[in-house]
């Protein structure tokens, strides 16, 4: 089996799992969703997994947006007011596969390494500043 096929399989499994977990939580919290999900059992396996994968992509995007806004708030030192949190919007994205040519993949890996290196340096700087503030 090709590695790209395995990657797609694991990615799809990840999204289906996220979607299924989200659906399960909805079923537990909302009786109306329970009936909707029971009606979906008449669909084929492929249709169900496609719906769950799409839902998983949406859930991941929402979670990513939430975490990004939380981190931004922590960095800026601001606490959102209730009116600000109501203004949050959901961004729907779809996963797209990228052709596996070595050039593009190595550029992505190099960019990720550079970003990780930069974040590590920033973290070291913040730690040293924190230690200096504690010693004062």
Q: Do 79 and 15 share a structural domain?
A: yes
* Secondary structure (3-state) at 23: helix
Whether residue 59 sits in one domain with residue 18: yes
72 and 28 fall within a common domain:
yes
pTM given for the model: 0.49
- What CA–CA distances, in Å, run from 128 to 72, 117, 123, 135? 21, 17, 9, 11
Residues 67, 13: one domain? yes
Kindly indicate the confidence band of residue 16, based on its pLDDT and cuts at 50, 70 and 90.
very high
Q: Give me the domain span that covers residue 129.
A: 100-136
Both 14 and 67 in one domain: the answer is yes
Count of domains forming the chain: 2
Q: What is the tens place of the pLDDT at every residue in 84-99?
A: 455 566 666 665 555 5
């Amino acid at each position: 089996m090709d590695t790209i096929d395995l990657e797609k399989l694991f990615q799809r499994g990840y999204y289906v799992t996220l979607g299924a977990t989200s659906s399960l939580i909805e079923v537990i919290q909302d009786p109306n969703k329970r009936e909707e999900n029971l009606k979906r059992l008449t669909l084929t396996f492929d249709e169900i997994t496609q719906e769950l994968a799409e839902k998983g992509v949406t859930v991941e995007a929402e979670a990513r947006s939430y975490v990004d806004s939380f981190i931004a708030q922590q960095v800026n030192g601001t606490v959102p007011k209730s009116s600000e949190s109501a203004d949050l919007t959901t961004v729907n994205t779809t996963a797209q596969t990228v052709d596996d040519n070595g050039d593009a993949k190595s550029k992505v890996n190099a960019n990720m390494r550079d970003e990780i290196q930069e974040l590590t340096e920033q973290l070291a700087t913040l730690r040293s500043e924190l230690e200096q503030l504690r010693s004062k």
